Amino acid sequence: MIDSHSHIYCDAFDEDRAEVVERARQAGVRHIILPNENLESVQRLAAMHERYPDYISMALGLHPEDVHDDYIDVLGRLRPMLDQYPVVAVGEIGIDLYWDKTWREQQHHALDIQLHWCHEKGIPFIMHCREALDDILDVIDHLDCPVPQGVFHCFTGTPEDVERIRRRGDFYFGVNGVVTFKKSTVPQLLPVIGLDRLLLETDAPYLAPMPYRGKRNESAYIPLVNDFIAKSLGVTPEEVSTATDRNAQQLFNLKL
């Protein structure tokens, strides 16, 4: 299994990061992709890749919640790092209007810039979308370059949202512990998305699956997501892990 979205470089894992990686290996996690958040997180992320070069892949981007007045300067400093490090995606990027709409215009512009980076580098995006699908699709619709490939991470939309996204491109959808929550609507999305466009993810340390909901999430919990998806779709866990691994390897051009 591949954890296509984890933040185990963050300070929530400072006390036991090596143990967290070992537990992931023991749980059958073959590879972990770490999306960036801001300038400050790059060195933490790079240090993890240096320590586990065959097990960790890097994505670099500016998280929408970190887009503020200085975003042009921050993006200007991030862009050379795409050439400096062996990144597999631009991410995580996107628009988040859940807590605050103050930086809406800036988030639009930052997303447009970073989608152009995907085109320039020939790599996919990792998209963060929270209460902002209309805005993200508007940015995609107004791109003046070909729409890059990518994944809508932590996807919790509707079947109609899946179709709206697919009208813009052949994208993937990341599913994490939310699928296991009692009142989650994500299980109903699984047959609409299809195994051929699903990615497994944790978003650790957030969104731990049942029965760990509310606790710190980690990559070792990926089998719980995998098994829940298998049960929902009426297939074997091996079918889910094989398909989602193949999807991640194709999208991120992983040579495992």
Angstrom distance (rounded) from CA 256 to CA 112: 31
Q: What domains, with CATH codes, occur in the chain?
A: 2-252 (3.20.20.140)
In the chain (256 residues long), the average pLDDT of successive 10-residue segments reads 98 97 98 98 97 98 97 98 98 95 96 98 98 97 97 97 97 98 96 98 98 97 98 98 98 95
How is residue 140 written in tokens?
């995609």
pLDDT value, residue 157: 94
Q: Looking at residue 91, what DSSP letter applies? A: E
pLDDT value, residue 256: 87
Angstrom distance (rounded) from CA 8 to CA 46: 12
**What radius of gyration, in Å, describes the C-alpha atoms of the chain?**
17
Angstrom distance (rounded) from CA 171 to CA 3: 17
How is residue 9 written in tokens?
């470089």
